[in-house]
Structure 1
């Protein structure tokens, strides 16, 4: 039950930043970490979408549990 509350708070935090720029740090496996800049485009019940700045049409999606397990880290622009 507590895990569900944590995921809900992560989801609400990301929803508050829709349309804002973020720095995305994603674990690519085998000691690879990808760092990209982008904009949080949309949130869904289980995932959220980020449009990357370096590619014009490239979008990536991650689940809220990826943030919880620190597979993905988001640094929101102030």
Structure 2
């Protein structure tokens, strides 16, 4: 079982990447995996928010809990070269 300290460690590691461009892979169940590019917009005590640009709909925001990262339902990858990805 995940401790509060483990979830706090995940939150603090995400705080270092605020405003950076990321690749988000989310498992929606029944073998449906969504892959989107976005910006890590905000970190709250229980959830984090990613701003995603979709050409059809414009901007949208999704939020996930830190336990989603812990259980690998959501995976994040921070891009090394922040200037090469156009999300804005």
Output the CA distance in 1 between the equivalents of 2:66 and 2:27: 15
Structure 1 segments, 4+ long, off by >6 Å, are none
**Alignment-derived partner of residue 65 in structure 1:** 67
> How many aligned residue pairs are there?
78
Q: CA 1:66 to 1:2, structure 2 compared with 1: closer, same or farther past 3 Å?
A: closer
**Alignment-derived partner of residue 58 in structure 2:** 56
TM-score under structure 2 length normalisation: 0.82
Q: CA 1:2 to 1:61, structure 2 compared with 1: closer, same or farther past 3 Å?
A: closer
Indicate the RMSD between aligned Cα atoms, in angstroms. 1.5
Residue 39 of structure 1 and its aligned partner are, at CA, apart by: 0.1
Residue 2 of structure 1 and its aligned partner are, at CA, apart by: 6.3
More helix by share: 1
Output the CA distance in 2 between the equivalents of 1:70 and 1:22: 16
Question: Unmatched 5+ residue regions in structure 1?
Answer: none
Q: CA 1:57 to 1:69, structure 2 compared with 1: closer, same or farther past 3 Å?
A: same
Residue 17 of structure 1 and its aligned partner are, at CA, apart by: 0.4
